[in-house]
C-alpha cells in the first residue's frame, strides 16, 4: 500500500501538495465530499479519488494506518487496551458493590464513580470515531461505519451499553464493506444490541418481541414488505435463549442440552431458555434445533428480496439524498441479491452508475457530516488533541454520537435537519469552527474554564481545496465572502454558505 | 416582504411584542383571537391502561399479575385515584393532573388511536403526524400541523419545540420553525446574520428556513432572557421536560399559538413498574410538566388553550414475560385546557374482556385520532367543514363536545 499519510504533521493547509490543475482539485474534493467526510486540509497521497485504483482501495484493501499522533491517542484509550468483556464485568461489579454500601455519602460517591467510568468508556468511543473520521485514509469505510451504526442503532445511555458501544462500533466497522448477512449476525451476537432491544430477556414462556420486530422492520425487510405479526412472534420464539452472560462459568445444564450451549465473549446462547417447538417463519417451517434456527432465520431474512431493496434504498438515500432514482435502487438491489449481499459490490454499482456521476450533489449534510467536513477542511492538517467540542457540536445540532434513543436511527432525510432552528444552531457552530476552534487543541484533561491555547483561524480562503471550489460558488455567496472583515469571518461565512451545506 | 434586514432591525428595537413582524411571510405577534393548540406526542407508545386505569376490571388485574395497579383505596398510597365508576388515575399524577380533572379541565379519551395495524413505532408515528389515510400513497411533504397552519392562514404562529422539525410540521406554505428549548443561545451578531441571509436569497429550499431561523431565535431569546439569566446565576430551575414545558407555556402565552413537542422513553418492554418504578417516574415528570405549562401560560391564555396528548399506539393488554408490555393498538388520549369540558371519559367505550380486545391482544380503536383532533380543531378555531376538509383528507370528524 503505497499511500503516504502526511497527516498529523502540522502541515498547514497552504502547504499541501498542489494537485495538477484546479479542475482536478475540484473533482477530488467532490469525491471526498460524496464518499467520505469531506476533503481534508492535508493531502493524503495515494491514487486519485474516483479512479479505479482508488475505488478498489476504498472498497477492498485492508484499512490503512492512521497518522501516528491520532493512533497514539487511540492506543492510550481503555477501550483499546482492555477487552469489552473485562470492561463490562468490571463496571457490573462496581454497580453490585455500590448497592451493598449502606452509608449514603459513600454510596453516592460510588454511584458517581460508576457513572463516570461508564461515561468515560462511551466518550472514548466517540473520540475514537471522530479521530478516525478526521484522519483515516479509509474514508468510505468510515462513512459506512456510521451508516451501519445508525442502521443497527443502539443508544449508549441505556443500561450499561456505554461499556460496550466502542466494541459494537468496531464490530460494525469490520463488516462495513463485507457481506450483509455477516453484519446482521455480528450485530445479533453483540451484547450491545441484545441489551438494547431486550433480547437478553427473551426466553421460552417469557417472550419479548422487541428485537424480533426491529430486525424485520428496521434492519432488514422494512415495514410493510410482506411479513406479518405472526412472523414477528415466530422470530421472537426462534430468538429465545439468545442473550448476554458475563459470569465466568457456563450455567449448569442437563447433559442433552450441553452440546447446544454457545458462548463467545459476552454472547451466550442458552438452550435451557430456548423454545424448541417448531416455528413457521416467512413461509418456511423451522424445526426446533437451537441456535441453528437463528442461522436459518437470518439466511431467510438476508436472502429476501425485500431486504435487498430496503437496504439498497437506505444506502442510496444516504449517499445521494432524499429521492434516489428508483431504477438505480433496483439495480443495486439486483446486485445485492446476485452477490448474496456483498456490500462493496452494491456500493460499486451505485458509485459507477450514470445517475451517481451525474448528480449535482450528494444531498444535504446531516449534523455529523457537516461538523466533520468543516473540521477536516479547516484543521485536517493539524493534530486535534481534544475531540470533545466536535462531539458537542453534533449533539447541539441534534445528532449526538450513539445518542439516538430509538432503534430507527437518525433520520436520513434533509427535511429532518434543515429546519429554521437547526440552521440557526448550525451558523453558531460555523462561527466557532471558523474562528480558530482553540479548544480542539487543548489538553483533553484541561479544566472546563481553563483558557485554551492560542489558535489563529486557518486561512481557508487560500487553501487549495477552496481555491479549486471558488468557481463553483454562487454569486450571492461570493458577494458575502467579499464582505468578510477577517479570516475568521470569511471562514464562518464559507461554512454557513448554502454550497457548504450540501455534499 | 423579503427584506429580512429591516424586519430584524425592527425586531431588535423591541417592537416585536406589539407590532406584527412579517418575516418571510409569517407574522410574529401576540395571538389575536387567542386560540392556542399544543400537541404533545408521547413517542414509544405509553402504556395507557396503567396510567388511566380500568380500575374495577378484574380482567385488568388478571392480565397484569405483577404490574397492575391495585383497586382504588384512599388508605393505600400506591392505589390509583378514582376518576369515575370505572376508571382511576395513576397516583404519580395526584398533584399535577388530578386537580385539573377536579376542575373539569381535562378529559381522557380511551380506545383512541389510528387504523394503522403495523404496530411499528415509526410507521405509526408517521401515520399520525402525516394525518393521511392509511393504505394510500404517503406524502411525506405534508404533515397535519403544517396543513392546519395553512388553513388558519397568515395569523397563525406555529412552532415545534423539538431539535428536528417533526414530520407533522413539514410542508407548510411557509417553513415552520423548530427550536429545542434546552439549546437556546444568544443570537448571532446582526451584521453576520444579514450576510448569511444574503447568501441564501433565492435559494429554493433554504432561504425562508434560514431567515425564519434567525427570527425565531431572536424571539425566543428575548422571551426567555430573564429566565435564562436567572438560571445562569444558579437559580433553581426545572429540569428536562418540566423546564421545556414551562418555557413552552411562557412562549405560547405571548408568541406562538400552534405548537408541538414530543417526549420519548415510553417503550416499556421490560420492568416498567406499577405504582412506582420506571413508567411511574416518567408519567410523574410529564404530569408536572403539563401542570407547569398551564401555570406558565397564565389563567387568561389557559382559557383559550387546548393541549392534546397522543401516543402512536397502546401496548399489549397482558403483561409480557419481563414485567413489561409489547406493542399493541388502542391508546388513551388526553385533552386538557381552561376551556375544555372535562372531568369525564369521552368517546365510545366497551367493557374490557378477552372477547372485546382487538385480536385478543390490545385495546380496539373506537375513536379515530383524525376524527378527534379534527373535531377539536374545528370547534376551537371555528372552522367550517369545508375549511377543515384538507386537514385530514377522507376523514369524518367526531365532535365529542370537548370545547
pLDDT (tens digit, 9 = 90+) per residue, A292-310?
999 999 999 999 999 999 9
Cell of A85: 468483556
Q: Which of B43, B44, B213 has its CB closest to that of A423?
A: B213
> CB distance B185–A213 less than 8 Å?
no
- Average pLDDT for A108-119: 95
Place of cell 448497592: A99
Dihedral through CA B191, CA B193, CA B199, CA B201, nearest 10?
-110
> CB distance A424–B213 less than 8 Å?
yes
Cell of A357: 456521476
Q: How high does pLDDT run on average in chain B?
A: 87
Confidence band, pLDDT 50/70/90 cuts, at residue A377: very high
**CA–CA separation, B282 vs B102, rounded Å?**
22
A189: Cα within 13 Å, side-chain hemisphere:
18
- Average pLDDT for A273-294: 98
The DSSP string of B262-311 is EE------S---SSSSHHHHHHHHHHHHHHHHHHHHHHHHHHTEEEEEEE
Cell of B8: 430584524
pLDDT over 60 (residue A228): yes
How does pLDDT run across B85-121, given as a tens digit for each residue? 999 999 999 999 999 999 999 999 999 999 999 898 9
pLDDT over 60 (residue A346): yes
Burial class (CB in 10 A: 0-12, 13-18, 19+), A102: exposed
A26: Cα within 13 Å, side-chain hemisphere:
10
Burial A229-263 (b: 16+ CB within 10 A, else e): eebbbbbbbbbbbbbbbbeeeeeeeeeeeeebbbe
The phi, psi pair for B74, rounded to 5°, reads: -55, -25
Q: Which of B201, B213, B359 has its CB closest to that of A421?
A: B213
> CB distance B321–A206 less than 8 Å?
yes
**B interface mutation test: which of A419, A476, A491 has the most B CBs within 10 A?**
A419
Cell of B343: 372531568
**CA–CA separation, B286 vs B42, rounded Å?**
9
> CB distance A422–B195 less than 8 Å?
no
- Residues from chain A contacting residue B205 (CB–CB below 8 Å): 414, 418
Query: What is the reported pLDDT for B7?
Result: 34
> CB distance A419–B213 less than 8 Å?
yes
B109-118, B185-194, B344-353: least confidently modelled range: B185-194
How does pLDDT run across B146-164, given as a tens digit for each residue? 999 999 987 778 999 988 8
**CA–CA separation, A120 vs A118, rounded Å?**
5
User: B255, B28 in Cβ contact below 8 A?
Assistant: yes
Place of cell 380533572: B101
How does pLDDT run across A173-224, given as a tens digit for each residue? 999 999 999 999 999 999 999 999 999 999 999 999 999 999 999 999 998 8
Most confident of A261-265, B133-137, B173-177: A261-265
- CA proximity to A199, closest of A252, A153, A250, A235: A235
**CA–CA separation, A376 vs A500, rounded Å?**
13
> CB distance A501–B206 less than 8 Å?
yes
**CA–CA separation, B337 vs B333, rounded Å?**
14
For residue B346, give the DSSP letter: -
Instruction: Give CA A20 to chain center in angstroms.
Output: 33
- Average pLDDT for B366-382: 94
Q: Which of A203, A406, A423 has its CB closest to that of B321?
A: A203
How does pLDDT run across B250-267, given as a tens digit for each residue? 999 988 999 999 998 899
pLDDT over 80 (residue B2): no
Among chain B residues, the shortest Cα distance to A394 is held by: B163
**CA–CA separation, A253 vs A237, rounded Å?**
20
pLDDT over 50 (residue B10): no
The phi, psi pair for B366, rounded to 5°, reads: -110, -20
Run of H or E residues at B86: none
- Residues from chain B contacting residue A427 (CB–CB below 8 Å): 188, 192-193, 196, 213
**CA–CA separation, B145 vs B381, rounded Å?**
14
User: A37, A372 in Cβ contact below 8 A?
Assistant: yes
**CA–CA separation, A99 vs A97, rounded Å?**
5
pLDDT over 90 (residue A85): yes
Those residues with Cβ within 8 angstroms of residue A150's Cβ, 6 or more apart along the chain or in another chain: A404, A409, A410
pLDDT over 80 (residue A464): yes
pTM to 2 decimal places: 0.85
Let me know how long chain B is.
403
Those residues with Cβ within 8 angstroms of residue A356's Cβ, 6 or more apart along the chain or in another chain: A34, A319, A320, A328, A350
Confidence band, pLDDT 50/70/90 cuts, at residue A50: confident
**CA–CA separation, B257 vs B245, rounded Å?**
14
Helix, strand, coil abundance in chain A, percent, nearest 5: 60, 5, 40
Among chain A residues, the shortest Cα distance to B44 is held by: A406
Measured between its terminal Cα atoms, the distance across chain B in Å is 37
The DSSP string of A136-198 is -S-HHHHHHHHHHHHHT---TTSTTGGGTHHHHHHHHHHHTTSBHHHHHHHHHT-HHHHHHTT
How does pLDDT run across A306-332, given as a tens digit for each residue? 999 999 999 999 999 999 999 999 999
Query: What is the reported pLDDT for A452?
Result: 87
Helix (H, G, I), strand (E, B) or coil at B197: helix
Confidence band, pLDDT 50/70/90 cuts, at residue B399: confident
Helix (H, G, I), strand (E, B) or coil at B178: strand
Inform me whether the C-beta atom of residue A489 falls under 8 Å from chain B C-beta atoms. yes
A387-396, B90-99, B130-139, B387-396: least confidently modelled range: B130-139
- Average pLDDT for A392-415: 93
**A interface mutation test: which of B203, B269, B316, B329 has the most A CBs within 10 A?**
B269
- Residues from chain A contacting residue B164 (CB–CB below 8 Å): 398, 411, 416-417, 419, 422
CA-based angle A256:A257:A262, to the nearest 5?
140
Q: Which of A203, A424, A501 has its CB closest to that of B217?
A: A424
pLDDT over 50 (residue A13): no
Instruction: Give CA B318 to chain center in angstroms.
Output: 27
Cell of A419: 429546519
Query: What is the reported pLDDT for B9?
Result: 28
**CA–CA separation, A143 vs A38, rounded Å?**
10
Confidence band, pLDDT 50/70/90 cuts, at residue B140: confident
pLDDT over 50 (residue A145): yes
**A interface mutation test: which of B5, B44, B119, B120 has the most A CBs within 10 A?**
B120
Confidence band, pLDDT 50/70/90 cuts, at residue A115: very high
**CA–CA separation, B343 vs B347, rounded Å?**
13
Query: What is the reported pLDDT for A438?
Result: 87
User: A46, A2 in Cβ contact below 8 A?
Assistant: yes
Q: Which of residues 423-482 of A touch B (CB under 8 A)?
A: 423-425, 427-428, 431, 474, 476-477, 479-480
- Residues from chain A contacting residue B165 (CB–CB below 8 Å): 415-416, 418-422
Confidence band, pLDDT 50/70/90 cuts, at residue B128: very high
- Residues from chain A contacting residue B327 (CB–CB below 8 Å): 209, 213
**CA–CA separation, A350 vs A341, rounded Å?**
14
**CA–CA separation, B85 vs A40, rounded Å?**
69
**CA–CA separation, A443 vs A465, rounded Å?**
29
Amino acid at each position: 500500500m503505497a499511500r503516504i499519510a502526511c497527516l498529523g504533521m502540522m502541515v498547514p493547509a497552504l502547504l499541501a501538495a498542489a494537485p495538477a490543475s484546479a479542475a482536478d482539485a475540484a473533482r477530488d474534493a467532490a469525491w471526498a465530499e460524496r464518499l467520505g467526510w469531506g476533503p481534508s486540509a492535508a493531502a493524503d497521497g495515494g491514487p486519485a479519488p474516483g479512479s479505479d485504483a482508488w475505488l478498489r482501495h476504498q472498497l477492498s484493501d485492508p484499512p490503512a494506518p492512521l497518522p501516528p499522533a491520532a493512533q497514539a491517542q487511540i492506543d492510550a484509550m481503555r477501550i483499546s487496551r482492555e477487552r469489552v468483556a473485562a470492561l463490562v464485568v468490571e463496571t457490573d461489579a462496581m454497580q453490585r458493590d455500590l448497592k451493598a454500601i449502606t452509608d449514603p455519602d459513600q454510596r453516592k460517591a460510588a454511584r458517581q464513580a460508576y457513572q463516570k467510568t461508564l461515561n468515560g468508556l462511551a466518550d472514548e468511543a466517540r473520540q475514537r470515531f471522530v479521530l478516525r473520521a478526521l484522519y483515516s485514509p479509509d474514508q468510505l469505510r468510515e462513512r459506512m461505519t456510521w451508516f451501519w451504526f445508525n442502521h443497527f442503532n443502539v443508544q449508549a445511555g441505556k443500561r450499561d451499553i456505554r461499556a460496550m458501544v466502542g466494541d459494537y462500533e468496531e464490530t460494525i466497522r469490520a463488516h462495513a464493506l463485507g457481506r450483509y448477512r455477516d453484519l446482521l449476525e455480528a450485530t445479533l451476537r453483540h451484547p450491545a444490541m441484545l441489551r438494547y432491544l431486550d433480547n437478553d430477556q427473551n426466553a421460552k414462556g417469557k417472550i419479548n418481541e422487541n428485537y424480533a420486530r426491529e430486525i424485520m422492520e428496521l434492519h432488514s425487510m422494512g415495514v410493510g414488505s410482506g411479513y406479518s405479526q405472526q412472523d414477528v412472534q415466530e422470530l421472537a420464539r426462534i430468538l429465545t435463549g439468545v442473550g448476554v452472560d458475563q459470569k465466568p462459568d457456563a450455567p449448569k445444564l442437563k447433559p442433552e442440552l450441553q452440546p447446544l450451549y454457545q458462548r463467545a465473549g459476552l454472547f451466550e446462547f442458552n438452550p435451557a431458555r430456548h423454545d424448541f417447538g417448531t416455528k413457521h417463519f416467512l413461509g418456511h417451517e423451522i424445526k426446533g434445533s437451537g441456535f441453528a434456527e437463528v442461522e436459518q432465520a437470518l439466511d431467510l431474512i438476508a436472502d429476501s428480496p425485500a431486504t435487498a431493496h430496503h437496504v439498497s434504498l437506505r444506502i442510496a438515500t444516504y449517499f445521494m439524498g432524499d429521492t434516489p432514482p428508483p431504477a438505480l435502487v433496483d439495480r443495486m438491489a439486483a446486485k445485492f441479491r446476485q452477490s448474496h449481499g456483498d456490500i462493496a459490490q452494491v456500493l460499486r454499482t451505485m458509485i459507477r452508475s450514470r445517475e451517481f456521476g451525474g448528480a449535482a450533489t450528494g444531498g444535504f449534510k446531516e449534523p455529523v457530516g457537516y461538523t466533520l467536513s468543516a473540521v477536516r477542511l479547516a484543521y485536517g492538517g493539524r493534530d486535534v488533541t481534544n475531540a470533545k467540542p466536535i462531539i458537542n457540536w453534533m449533539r447541539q445540532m441534534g445528532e449526538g454520537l450513539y445518542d439516538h434513543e430509538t432503534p430507527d436511527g437518525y433520520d436520513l432525510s434533509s427535511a429532518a435537519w434543515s429546519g429554521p432552528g437547526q440552521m440557526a444552531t448550525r451558523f453558531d457552530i460555523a462561527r466557532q469552527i471558523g474562528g480558530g476552534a482553540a479548544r480542539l487543541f487543548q489538553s483533553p484533561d484541561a479544566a472546563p474554564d481553563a483558557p485554551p491555547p492560542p489558535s489563529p483561524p486557518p486561512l481557508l480562503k487560500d487553501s487549495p481545496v477552496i481555491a479549486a471550489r471558488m468557481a463553483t460558488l454562487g454569486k450571492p455567496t461570493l458577494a458575502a465572502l467579499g464582505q468578510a472583515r477577517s479570516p475568521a469571518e470569511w471562514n464562518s461565512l464559507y461554512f454557513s454558505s448554502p454550497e457548504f451545506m450540501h455534499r | 416582504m423579503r427584506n429580512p434586514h429591516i424586519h430584524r432591525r425592527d425586531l431588535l428595537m423591541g417592537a416585536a411584542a406589539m407590532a406584527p413582524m412579517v418575516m418571510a411571510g409569517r407574522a410574529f405577534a401576540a395571538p389575536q383571537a387567542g386560540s392556542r393548540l399544543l400537541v404533545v406526542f408521547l413517542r414509544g407508545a405509553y402504556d395507557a391502561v396503567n396510567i388511566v386505569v380500568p380500575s374495577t376490571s378484574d380482567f385488568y388485574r388478571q392480565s397484569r399479575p405483577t404490574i397492575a395497579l391495585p383497586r382504588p383505596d384512599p388508605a393505600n398510597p400506591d392505589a390509583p385515584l378514582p376518576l369515575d365508576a370505572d376508571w382511576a388515575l395513576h397516583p404519580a399524577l395526584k398533584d399535577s393532573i388530578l386537580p385539573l380533572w377536579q376542575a373539569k379541565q381535562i378529559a381522557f379519551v380511551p380506545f383512541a388511536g389510528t387504523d394503522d395495524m403495523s404496530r411499528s413505532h415509526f410507521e405509526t408515528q408517521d401515520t399520525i403526524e402525516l394525518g393521511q389515510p392509511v393504505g394510500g400513497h404517503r406524502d411525506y411533504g405534508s404533515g397535519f400541523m403544517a396543513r392546519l397552519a395553512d388553513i388558519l392562514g397568515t395569523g397563525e404562529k406555529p412552532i415545534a419545540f423539538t431539535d428536528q422539525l417533526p414530520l407533522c410540521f413539514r410542508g407548510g406554505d411557509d417553513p415552520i420553525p423548530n427550536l429545542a428549548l434546552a439549546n437556546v443561545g444568544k443570537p448571532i451578531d446582526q451584521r453576520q446574520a444579514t450576510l448569511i441571509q444574503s447568501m441564501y436569497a433565492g435559494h429554493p429550499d433554504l432561504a425562508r428556513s434560514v431567515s425564519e431561523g434567525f427570527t425565531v431565535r431572536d424571539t425566543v431569546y428575548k422571551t426567555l432572557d430573564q429566565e435564562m439569566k436567572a438560571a445562569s446565576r444558579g437559580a433553581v430551575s426545572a429540569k428536562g421536560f418540566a423546564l421545556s414545558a414551562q418555557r413552552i407555556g411562557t412562549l405560547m402565552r405571548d408568541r406562538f399559538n400552534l405548537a408541538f413537542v414530543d417526549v420519548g422513553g415510553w417503550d416499556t418492554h421490560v420492568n416498567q413498574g406499577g405504582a412506582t418504578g420506571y413508567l411511574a417516574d416518567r408519567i410523574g415528570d410529564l404530569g408536572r410538566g403539563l401542570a407547569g405549562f398551564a401555570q406558565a401560560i397564565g389563567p387568561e391564555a389557559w382559557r383559550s388553550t387546548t393541549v392534546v396528548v397522543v401516543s402512536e399506539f397502546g401496548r399489549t393488554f397482558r403483561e409480557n414475560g419481563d414485567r413489561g408490555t409489547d406493542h399493541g393498538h388502542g391508546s388513551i388520549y388526553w385533552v386538557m385546557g381552561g376551556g375544555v369540558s372535562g372531568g369525564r371519559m369521552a368517546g365510545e367505550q366497551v367493557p374490557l374482556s378477552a372477547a372485546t380486545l382487538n385480536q385478543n391482544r390490545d385495546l380496539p380503536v373506537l375513536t379515530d385520532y383524525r376524527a378527534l383532533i379534527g373535531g377539536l380543531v374545528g370547534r376551537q378555531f371555528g372552522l367550517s367543514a369545508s375549511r377543515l376538509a384538507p386537514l385530514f383528507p377522507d376523514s369524518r370528524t367526531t365532535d365529542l363536545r370537548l370545547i
